[in-house]
Structure 1
Amino acid sequence: MGHHTFDADRAASLEAPERRYSVLSAEELRWAVDCSPDDTVVDLGSGTGFYTDDIAADAGELYAVDLQPEMHDYYREKGVPTNVELVTAPVDDMPLDAGSADAAFSTMTYHEFATAAAIEEIRRVLRPGGRLAVADWAADGEGERGPPLAERYSLDDAVETLREHGFAVEFEAARPETYLLVATAE
């Protein structure tokens, strides 16, 4: 499986609402994350902040975590909401306190960081009962968009991995090219 990162030179392509919202709408993401104005939320692989901005409108504080400083540079040029803090770090080693987040989400980035260490780190950062929403490209998709099929995970694999690392999966939906799951930290 993959674990590659998106080419930062193509960052502008991540800002196409008609393409991005065709696989995950802002409303669906808001439903999956289900945060309130008092919540601290973590975007796992925030990239250009496309989906970060949708959740920032509902959150108290939001940490936009991305491994690539170039993605944060793009986001700064675009304009970062005042309640968003950019964190340049890998998902498996976030400089956030244990139990400091009420929710976390990953939009089309799970395949880039899906290791046991990263899932354990997400669990560490979330408070007990904290919510995790994952939308990603499906391993059984056609592969016309998104990463190559060999770099993707199936919904079943993602669910199993989360359960193995202390998450209770509460919702899962398979789609033609993507999947969505919602879990809580036990």
Structure 2
Amino acid sequence: MGFHTFPTERAASLEDPGRYRYCSREELLAMLEPSADGVVADLGSGTGFYADDVAPFVDTLYAVDVQPAMHDYYREKGVPDAVEFVTAEVSSLPFDDGHLDGAYSTMTHHEYASPAADGADDGALAELARVIRPGGRLVTVDWSADGEGDDGPPVEERFSLADATAGLEAAGFEIERARERPETIAIVATR
């Protein structure tokens, strides 16, 4: 992962419906365009806040998190039938090439992506390009480096829209849409 992971002792705060002001259920579903037979991954799923929203619209949803304690919290809360737990770094996913129809991350891109340094490959983004099938979608909603920093991680740990899209393009994704918002960025990329 990148700079840090979310503190597990604050896991309950991830269930705050106020999170929808940064990415609503409807916005996420519209960007992801899931299908009933789809296989998707929630990258940095945490307590399953967004996984609960997407799971009814897909066949399989992999809740990917590097922290087993987050999976434990999610299990205690109750898990939809479509959800399967995966404890792994985004840079080392246990999926075959092209296994996923799509993936999404909500406020976690900064935790797994690496800042570009002299055009160096980003292992996590390259791994996503490997496991998402050609034509599959990757949706990224994260804190903006150009935001105020009142919420979320420190500004210096965030990506600008330009840096995030450049990293995705370098990994082989085509950017469909990319928007800068007051405190966040939203990107839809296709493999």
| TM category, shorter | over 0.9
SS of residue paired to 2:91: helix
Q: Give a deviation string over 1:59-116, Cα, whole Å, max 9, x none.
A: 1111110000010000000011111001001000011111100010000000000030
Name the structure 2 match of 1:152. 158
- Tell me, yes or no, if structure 1 residue 24 matches structure 2 residue 23: yes
Partner of 1:12: 12
TM-score, length-normalised on structure 1? 0.97
Query: Structure 2: which 5+ runs fail to align?
Result: 115-121
**2-structure distance, mates of 1:79, 1:3:** 29
Per the alignment, residue 78 of structure 1 pairs with 77
Which of 107, 113, 129 is the matching residue for 2:135? 129
Deviations 1:103-133 (A, max 9, x none): 1000000000003000011111100111000
Q: What amino acid is aligned across from residue 76 of structure 1 in structure 2?
A: R
Q: Give the aligned CA root-mean-square deviation in angstroms.
A: 0.7
Structure 2: which amino acid aligns with 1:47? G
Report the 3-state secondary structure (helix = DSSP H, G, I; strand = E; otherwise coil) of the residue aligned with 1:57. helix
CA deviation vs aligned residue, 1:20-40 (integer Å, no higher than 9, x gap)? 101100000000111111110
Q: Which residue identity does 2:151 align to in structure 1?
A: R
TM-score when normalising by structure 2 = 0.94
Question: After superposition, where does 1:11-160 map in structure 2 within 5 Å?
Answer: 11-17=11-17, 19-115=18-114, 116-160=122-166
Identity of aligned residues (%): 57
1:152: Cα distance to partner? Answer: 0.3
How far the C-alpha of 1:173 sits from its partner, in A, is 1.1
SS at match of 1:42: strand
Deviation at 1:3, TM superposition (A): 2.1
* Distance in structure 1 (CA, Å) of the matches to 2:40 and 2:100: 6
165, 177, 181: which one aligns with 1:175: 181
Give CA deviations for 1:119-172 in whole Å, capped at 9, x if unaligned.
Answer: 011111100111000000000111110000010000110000000110000011
Identify unmatched segments of 5+ residues in structure 1.
Answer: none
Q: Distance in 1 between matches of 2:188 and 2:128?
A: 14
How far 1:58 moved relative to its partner? 0.6
